[in-house]
């Protein structure tokens, strides 16, 4: 059975502290998500006001195949604010944990069930499909979750959303809890994971394994606090993990992920960490001698999945952990031959350079370093012959970053 991605970049993603998309950015992100094949988008909160509603209406008008959802509190005015926006779905959210029922809304279980019974019907009368959002479900009594699902089904909802609002679940508990819910209810079950413990993707996959109908994601994992399950991680994991559980279950082409991640990073004003899995700049870059040697012998020695799936490729760089052969090869490609002893010297120079600069040198910088190093050797020979003539020690005038390198080059 296919798994529906319900992407909430434009709702929960924009709730990231300090992130605000312009209407144009929201429209462009929605268009891109539709183009890459995301079937459902949660696009905003109508109760936020006229400006938010206007953008939501523009988004629904611009999409052709992707369905749209609004996020609402379980409140009649929030539902009425959806009028005229062309939405397919509404998520009606209500706390279900003792903590939030008591200390956020000051209500008990009976009132929660009664509000669900009433408001699901209000939303249905507005022509919307209804998902009942069970806020803080991970801290709820499972028996009460079943009651909520039962009431939602009776009232005419199509789906319940299990929100791990605080990101406190692990994959094992998630699989067990979602399995129980899927077995109990005839409704679609949707997983909403947060990443406070770094487990949002794992919990999302666990929910899929347990039979969840749909899962919430955000591009680059944007969202409250540590964010939501990243779209790119969930889609790529489903593509790559070959246990027969996930493959072919999501109709989104992974080759489109880097572009959508860049687009959202720019709109969010949040750059992607270099080492962020799948889309980080350096995740297919190799330096260590053992790995580079292994990759050159056969890519699959050190390749979990082919970066070409993402339109990317392996990159080899030089650094502190480079082997001699990699250094010689790169220099040869630049027209410079290093013998064994020069290469050994240059390894130390490289290590010192990266320790000082905290990044790999570009090929141009490698050439510069090699030339500098060779020049120092030449200078040294020159100085030695001059010293012999003048019987005095030479003076050194090296730029700061190269001072240590020059000393090493001269054998100190």
- Footprint of Zn ion (CB under 5 A): 12
Sign of CA dihedral 200, 201, 204, 209: negative
Which CB sits closer to Zn ion, 12 or 14?
A: 12
Q: What's the DSSP call for residue 230? A: B
- Strands (E) across 8-73 are located at 40-44, 67-73
In the complex, least distance from residue 182 CB atom to Zn ion, rounded to whole angstroms: 21
In the complex, least distance from residue 200 CB atom to Zn ion, rounded to whole angstroms: 10
The structure tokens listed for 343 are: 């290469």
User: 134: burial class by Cβ within 10 Å (0-12, 13-18, 19+)?
Assistant: buried
> What is the distance of C-alpha 295 from the center of its chain?
26
Which CB sits closer to Zn ion, 14 or 239?
A: 14
In the complex, least distance from residue 171 CB atom to Zn ion, rounded to whole angstroms: 18
Residue 235's nearest CA partner among 213, 221, 251, 258 is 251
Which CB sits closer to Zn ion, 131 or 338?
A: 131
In the complex, least distance from residue 202 CB atom to Zn ion, rounded to whole angstroms: 17
Q: What's the DSSP call for residue 397? A: -
In the complex, least distance from residue 14 CB atom to Zn ion, rounded to whole angstroms: 11
Residue 58's nearest CA partner among 68, 72, 49, 48 is 68
Residue 89 near residue 160 (C-beta atoms within 8 A): no
In the complex, least distance from residue 264 CB atom to Zn ion, rounded to whole angstroms: 17
Which CB sits closer to Zn ion, 12 or 232?
A: 12
Residue 135's nearest CA partner among 114, 116, 157 is 116
Residue 235 near residue 257 (C-beta atoms within 8 A): yes
Which CB sits closer to Zn ion, 15 or 117?
A: 15
Q: Which residues pair with 135 in a beta bridge?
A: 95
In the complex, least distance from residue 220 CB atom to Zn ion, rounded to whole angstroms: 15
In the complex, least distance from residue 194 CB atom to Zn ion, rounded to whole angstroms: 6
Which CB sits closer to Zn ion, 199 or 366?
A: 199
The residue number whose beta carbon is nearest to Zn ion equals 12
Which CB sits closer to Zn ion, 12 or 239?
A: 12
Which CB sits closer to Zn ion, 12 or 190?
A: 12
For the chain, what percentages of helix, strand and coil (3-state, to nearest 5) are there?
50, 15, 35
- The CA radius of gyration of the chain, in Å to the nearest whole number, is 29
**CA–CA gap between residue 72 and residue 119 (Å, rounded):** 11
In the complex, least distance from residue 369 CB atom to Zn ion, rounded to whole angstroms: 49
227: left (phi over 0), alpha (psi -120 to 50) or beta: left
Can you tell me whether residue 80 is helix, strand or coil? helix
Which CB sits closer to Zn ion, 12 or 34?
A: 12
Which CB sits closer to Zn ion, 137 or 366?
A: 137
Sign of CA dihedral 102, 105, 107, 110: negative
The structure tokens listed for 20 are: 């605000």
Residues near 116 by beta carbon (within 8 Å), at least 6 away in sequence? 74, 92, 94, 132, 148, 151, 152, 155, 157
In the complex, least distance from residue 138 CB atom to Zn ion, rounded to whole angstroms: 12
């Amino acid at each position: 059975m296919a798994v529906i991605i319900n992407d909430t970049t434009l709702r929960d993603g924009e709730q990231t502290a300090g992130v605000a998309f312009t209407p144009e950015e929201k429209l462009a992100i929605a268009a891109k998500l539709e183009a890459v094949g995301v079937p459902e988008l949660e696009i905003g909160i109508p109760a936020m006001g006229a400006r938010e509603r206007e953008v939501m209406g523009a988004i629904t008008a611009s999409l052709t195949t992707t369905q749209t959802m609004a996020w609402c509190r379980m409140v009649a005015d929030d539902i009425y604010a959806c009028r005229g926006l062309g939405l397919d779905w509404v998520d009606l959210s209500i706390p279900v944990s003792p903590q939030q029922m008591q200390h956020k809304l000051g209500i008990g279980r009976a009132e929660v069930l009664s509000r669900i019974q009433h408001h699901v019907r209000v939303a249905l009368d507005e022509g919307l499909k209804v998902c009942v959002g069970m806020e803080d479900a991970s801290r709820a009594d499972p028996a009460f979750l079943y009651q909520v699902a039962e009431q939602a089904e009776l009232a005419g909802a199509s789906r319940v959303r299990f929100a791990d609002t605080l990101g406190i679940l692990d994959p094992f508990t998630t699989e067990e809890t979602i399995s129980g819910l899927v077995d109990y209810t005839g409704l679609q079950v949707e997983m909403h994971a947060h990443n406070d413990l770094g487990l949002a993707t794992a919990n999302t996959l666990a929910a899929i394994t347990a039979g969840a109908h749909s899962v919430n994601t955000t591009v680059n994992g944007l969202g409250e606090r540590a964010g939501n399950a990243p779209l790119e991680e969930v889609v790529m994991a489903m593509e790559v993990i070959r246990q027969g559980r996930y493959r072919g279950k999501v109709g989104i082409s992974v080759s489109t992920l880097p572009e959508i991640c860049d687009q959202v990073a720019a709109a969010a004003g949040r750059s992607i960490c270099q080492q962020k899995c799948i889309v980080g700049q350096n995740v297919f870059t190799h330096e260590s001698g053992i790995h580079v040697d292994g990759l050159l012998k056969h890519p699959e020695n050190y390749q979990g999945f082919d970066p070409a799936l993402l339109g990317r490729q392996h990159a080899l760089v030089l650094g502190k952990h480079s082997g001699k052969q990699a250094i010689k090869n790169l220099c040869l490609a630049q027209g410079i031959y290093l013998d064994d002893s020069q290469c050994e010297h240059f390894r130390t120079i490289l290590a010192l350079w990266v320790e000082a600069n905290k990044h790999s040198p570009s090929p141009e910088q490698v050439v510069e370093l090699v030339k500098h190093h060779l020049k120092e050797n030449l200078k040294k020979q020159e100085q030695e012959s001059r010293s012999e003539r003048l019987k005095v020690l030479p003076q050194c005038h090296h730029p700061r970053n190269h001072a240590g390198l020059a000393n090493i080059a001269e054998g100190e």
